């Protein structure tokens, strides 16, 4: 398999994942979405250098 084919396959997999995540989000099943992201959220926020409890959330009606 060529490098281009591998890159195209990976890009397609990312697009498919984005579609599935968007579909989950659009069902308003935020609990499922949060559970999917939970294992990576702590390391992500540590990399941001934010202190615990310092997350700003904006809610749009």
Tell me the residue ranges of DSSP E strands in the chain. none
Give the per-residue pLDDT at 24: 80
Higher per-residue pLDDT: 41 or 55: 41
Q: Is the pLDDT of residue 51 over 70?
A: no
> Cβ distance 30 to 21 under 8 Å?
no
**Model pLDDT, residue 40:** 86
Residue-wise pLDDT for 1-43, tens only, equals: 565 666 788 888 999 989 988 888 888 888 887 887 888 888 8
Q: What is the pTM of this model?
A: 0.44
CB contact burial 2-29 (16+ within 10 A = b; e otherwise):
eeeeeeeeeeeeeeeeeeeeeeeeeeee
């Amino acid at each position: 398999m060529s490098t281009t084919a591998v890159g195209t396959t990976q890009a397609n997999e990312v697009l498919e994942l984005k579609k599935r995540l968007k579909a989950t989000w659009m069902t308003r099943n935020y609990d499922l979405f949060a559970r999917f992201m939970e294992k990576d959220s702590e390391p992500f926020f540590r990399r941001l250098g934010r202190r615990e409890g310092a997350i700003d959330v904006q809610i749009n009606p």
